[in-house]
Structure 1
Amino acid sequence: MKFLTALTAFVAGAATLVSAQDAGIYFTQPILGTVWNAGTSQNITWTPANATSATIDIIELRSGDASNLAFVQNISTTAVDLNSGSFVWTIPATLTTNTAYAIAAKNAAGYSYS
């Protein structure tokens, strides 16, 4: 089941939403055009950028318009070392197909979006 067909269609739109108070990362995967299938494991990757926090505390799946991304589910609620640059996500086999998903990373500094 293809569910992230346009996951990063929000890259341009969501990037404009991220103010100076973001989580201090730039997502490098998924990128525009990435297709991930439910039931598979995928690497979410990022590059640290002026981070003020040592960890990403929560990784979320969000959906909808780039100006108002709605929470879908938590991907991880366990702190991840921000400098590790990646997190392996096993995508639930039951996740609904959608072309408007985005990944959000949150820490004490704020949110960054894919």
Structure 2
Amino acid sequence: MQSTRIYDCATVLCFRFTFAVGTFIYRAPELHCKYPQDNGSVDLWSVGCIFGEMFLELNKTLFTGGEGGDNPFTIIREIFELIGTPTSPEDVEWLPDYWARVVRDRCSNQPSPSDW
């Protein structure tokens, strides 16, 4: 099975290396929530975001990330506004404890309707 990875060639020029490589607004929710395991689904999420933006107005993005642009709480809220919120405790059991509590406390029991 082949996999696709999205890389930013400019990161090669960096001298300080980090495991958090990628554009903030294209990162999968599990990366924003510090999920310790990485698989191909995070790359598929990024491709989906880019593909979705092809149908938006010129120079618009699916997610903004808030005023500062790097706020994981804001980006998670934006994701939930677009695709709906988790509807049961099992939907968030894969999250680290802190993020599972945040999601449970801030989400309603029903998915929110999408404007798409």
Would you say same fold, with TM above 0.5?
A: no
TM-score range, shorter chain: under 0.3
- Between Structure 1 and Structure 2, the one with more strand by share is 1
Q: TM-score under structure 1 normalisation? A: 0.26
- Between Structure 1 and Structure 2, the one with more helix by share is 2
